[in-house]
Copies of this chain bind each other. A is one copy, B any other.
């Protein structure tokens, strides 16, 4: 499994490759299976369907890693919060405005509710080629907190940032509660057979710099040390999106095996500045993949050249977008494997 070998410290001649949201709406075979379920959460919680769409991009492209099909909002849902996915709008959550509104379930009930994810991981691992790694994942506390407070995605995260300033005690408590559920959820996936764990802090960039230490770094450290304390020693990829210059401090203080870079981060700066024993993952702009051709090729060449001196996992800087022509992914792979 070259993917985990790289994560465990081995230098490879060519970077392993996978793509965030590689199971998704740009694939006709995904859309076909998706049609068979009324709602998105039910779809995620049906092990056979989650397994099938996880395998599709592996069959089509032979990526070096697969990521279990699921969603970061399963955690708030399993915590008893209303979560709906509205086509064209995105997720809509029941808004949390005070922590007393939270009726957080016992961890046993929480895990019971998420058992289908465990089954999907187990089933997928049994069907994947042996050489293909399976990634389990979770949203990070801050990112989940933003969805719960904003009631969905946000442009400015004003409600969440306002909470950090004016409700420091409630913020800390909510982050702590989320932290514990996240550890349970990642542990569940590890026990079901995931080979790698990934933490998505998609809105890390929306934390005012003065609060990064407590909201991002301390929380990630706690998740990782709790997992290690449970004897889970899988490699961890972290994706604190938008941290930019804050990545230096992040990498110095958090014990991860790989770091995801978004396409807004200068890769040459990152290759130079970030702790050398961490593998870097990224960072082609998903829209360069939509464009394809020479523009994409020039970027891929730059990425390969940039990371030639350190361990690297090829990926996009964010999830693949629905309008991507599937043949551009083949083009990308041909360029990487030539």
Stretch in A76-84, A100-108, A185-193, A263-271 with 4+ CB within 8 Å of B: A263-271
Please give the count of copies of this chain that the complex contains.
Answer: 2
Check if A89 is an interface residue, CB within 8 A of chain B.
no
Contact with B along A81-111 (1 / 0, CB 8 A): 0000000000000000000000000000000
Q: CB-CB contacts of A250-282 with B at 8 A, as 1s and 0s?
A: 000000000000011111011001000000000
The residue on B at minimum CB distance from A161 is B287
B263/A208 in contact, CB under 8 A: yes
A290 adjacent to chain B (CB < 8 Å): yes
A162 and B209 contact, Cβ closer than 8 Å, known pairs A155-B155, A245-B266: no
CB closest residue in chain B, given A153: B155
**Complex-state Cα separation, A60 to B273, whole angstroms:** 46
CB distance from A242 to the nearest CB of B (A): 8
**Nearest chain B CB to A312's CB is how many angstroms away?**
16
Could you tell me if A285 and B153 are in contact, using CB atoms closer than 8 angstroms? no
Interchain CB contact under 8 A, B153 and A291: no
User: Given the complex, which residues of B lie within 8 Å of A266, measured CB to CB?
Assistant: 209, 212, 245-246, 249
A11–B249 CA distance with the chains assembled, in angstroms: 30
Give residues in A with beta carbon < 8 Å to B. 153, 155, 158, 161-162, 165-166, 168, 205-210, 212, 242, 244-249, 263-267, 269-270, 273, 285, 287-288, 290-291, 295-296, 299, 302, 317, 321
- A158-B287, A244-B244, A245-B269 provided; 13 other pairs, C-beta below 8 A? A161-B285, A162-B287, A208-B264, A208-B287, A208-B317, A209-B267, A210-B302, A212-B266, A245-B245, A246-B269, A248-B269, A249-B266, A249-B269
